[in-house]
Amino acid sequence: MSDDLYQAAILDLARQGAAATRLPHADATATVDNPLCGDRTTVDVTLAGGRIANIGYKTRGCALCQAAAALLATTAIGLDAPAIAVGTAAVTASLQDKGPDPMSPWEGFGIFTPVRRHPSRRSCVLLPFEALAKAFTAASAV
């Protein structure tokens, strides 16, 4: 049933995510807890010209959360706040039952679409997005 949740691609990304490190000199940092499972992601960002220059993070979470954090950390580089919001909405929609596949540059998140059949796991994928948005807002406010 849920086997394809744990395809090699996700497990590879998850390993990457688990090995991730924080940024030493971040413009801003945000930590977000998943209220339902207690998982936690901390995201550091540096900005340049209103766009994300660099991302660091540390995630205490499941393979889905780790993998999503790893993929987000590469996908988001160079994007500004509206682009991140659009991507978050696209990925959120793609996880819904019969949701649309995410489009470029978010198409990599297509590996998470098996989550469509497991609504309780959607928040695992989305937790890093929440943290990034929070960090972005904090950094822009500085």
Partner 1 sequence: MSGFDVAALRREFPILVPGLHYLDNAATAQTPRAVLDALIAHETTHRANVLRGVYRLAEEATAAYHAARVELAGYVNARDPNEVVFTSGTTGAINLVAHGFGAALKPGDEIVISVLEHHSNIVPWQLLRDRAGVVLKALPVTLDGRIELAELPRLIGPRTRLVAVTHASNVTGAVTDVATVVAAARSVGAPVLLDGAQMAPHGPLDVQALGVDFYAFSGHKMFAPNGVGVLWGRAEVLAAMAPFQGGGEMIRRVTLARTEYADPPHRFEAGTPPIAQAVALAAAARWVRGLPAEAVHAHLRRLTERLLDGLAARGRVRVIGPTGLQGRLATVSFAVARVHPHDVCQILDARGVALRGGHHCAQPLMDALDLAGTARASLAPYNDDGDIDAFFAGLDDVLRRFP
The piece of 29-37, 49-57, 74-82, 86-94 that touches partner 1 (CB under 8 A) is 29-37
The piece of 36-44, 74-82, 98-106, 127-135 that touches partner 1 (CB under 8 A) is 36-44
One residue of 13, 17, 27, 39 binding partner 1 per CB under 8 A: 39
- C-alpha torsion sign, points 92, 97, 99, 105: positive
Judged by CB under 8 A, the chain residues 103 through 122 that form the site for partner 1 are 118-121
One residue of 33, 54, 133, 140 binding partner 1 per CB under 8 A: 33
Q: Which is nearer to partner 1, 100 or 119 (CB)?
A: 119
**d(C-alpha 71, C-alpha 3), whole Å:** 20
* Cα within 13 Å of Cα(32), Cβ side: 20
Name 72's Cβ contacts closer than 8 Å, sequence gap at least 6.
55, 128, 129, 132
Say whether 7 sits in a helix, a strand or coil.
coil
Q: Which residues bind partner 1 (CB under 8 A)?
A: 1-3, 5-6, 11, 18, 33, 35-40, 60-66, 118-121, 124
